[in-house]
Amino acid sequence: MRKRIWRRLAAITLAFLTVGMPNIGEAGPGRGSVRSKEKNTGNTPRLFQDPASTKGYENGYDLGLLDARKGDRYDPVRHRDYRDANRGYASSQGSRDGYKTNFRTGFRQGYEDGYREGTRTRK
């Protein structure tokens, strides 16, 4: 009887931990898989649900970080990747216009986060 209770308790604990843990592979390969889950200023994890937002966030973060470290002005729109907004698009992901909208949304947020991080670490 006691073994059965401990087994159930262990199974419930394991299930709880598994459900509560984010899937690192959701955001894609490379550093971006970690970056899209970084903490924002409100200390809540940022998780993107669609590939367009994730790709945009990763791209925007990298460019925002570079701009801040170089001392360039804050301007995500000047980047070609933002204007084109079709990096990583595949027809299986739905309409191109919808992809571009989500990419740009992710890009702006990633750029903001990257730029903020870059200004903190700039010497």
Q: What is the dihedral of CA 78, 109, 28, 81, to 10 degrees?
A: -10
Residue 122: band (very low, low, confident or very high) from pLDDT cuts 50, 70, 90: low
Q: Which residues of 47-73 are buried (b: 16+ CB within 10 A; e: fewer)?
A: ebebbbbbbbbbbbbbbbbebbbeeee
The pLDDT of residue 93: 87
Q: pLDDT per residue over 42-57, tens digit each?
A: 433 455 678 999 999 9
Supply the pTM of this predicted model. 0.61
